[in-house]
Amino acid sequence: MPFPSAASPDQLPTQGRVTPHPAYNAPPSTYNTPQSGRSPWARATTPTTLAAMSSSTSHTFAMRFTSTPRGARLARRLVSHRLDAWGHPYDSHVNETLTLIAAELTANAVRHGHVPGRDFHVRLTTDGHTHRIEVSDTRTEKHPPSKAPAPANPESDGGRGLLLISALADDWGCEPRTGAPGKTVWAVVDGSHDRRTDCGSRHALNWCAT
């Protein structure tokens, strides 16, 4: 006995039939595509919107680190990662400048502000184009000079950190630590311009690189 032929959809009874949504019959390229024609998986931000976000939003990052070279390296990396997450890419002048300053301040905290059993503290804040980084340690008797001096020996590898900070930062200084013994060395960077292009800063940076 032959099997009955399958009925076409038009021959099925209308009662109980489920009509598929028109989108199911659409080509695959149109799936999950809004009316504007932009894929929902596309990035929601562009360099222009990132710049607008980074210039109009305030952020704060604060963390303690062990007073060791490894802690200083970790602090520098986290500063760079935070700035990238806040809209300042790794290759931007804001990120590169603050990462260099963070490296010098944390290295100084480990080298000159180390107290056994005590950590150093990093605080990074951004408010519009103004970026401030603070590094606090618990040693009170060693304060950096108010003006970065050039090393007495040009061939020496040390003594260039504060000169580099003064060349990169728009302002910097040292003050007593709030709420705890020690000191805080801070630096402020104005993100609206790149100080690395200034003549005096270029000279200092070139000298530090030699």
Contacts of 92 (CB under 8 A, 6+ apart): 83
Whether 90 contacts 172, CB under 8 Å: no
CB-side neighbour CA atoms (13 Å) of 101: 31
Question: Is 60 exceeded by the pLDDT of residue 159?
Answer: no
> What confidence tens digit (pLDDT) does each residue in 166-180 have?
889 999 999 999 888
> What confidence tens digit (pLDDT) does each residue in 81-93 have?
999 999 999 999 9
Question: Is 80 exceeded by the pLDDT of residue 207?
Answer: no
> What confidence tens digit (pLDDT) does each residue in 19-45 have?
554 444 444 444 343 444 443 333 344
Provide φ and ψ at 55, rounded to 5°: -90, -10
Lowest mean pLDDT among 6-15, 23-32, 102-111, 119-128: 23-32
In this structure, the number of other CB atoms found within 10 A of the CB of residue 210 comes to 7
Residues 39 and 60: their CA atoms lie apart, in Å, by: 33
Residue type, 55: S
Question: Is 70 exceeded by the pLDDT of residue 181?
Answer: yes
Residue of higher predicted confidence among 77 and 154: 77
In this structure, the number of other CB atoms found within 10 A of the CB of residue 111 comes to 14
Q: Is 66 helix (H, G, I), strand (E, B) or coil?
A: strand
The pLDDT assigned to 210 comes to: 46
Residue of higher predicted confidence among 159 and 131: 131
Structural domains in the chain plus CATH codes? 53-209 (3.30.565.10)
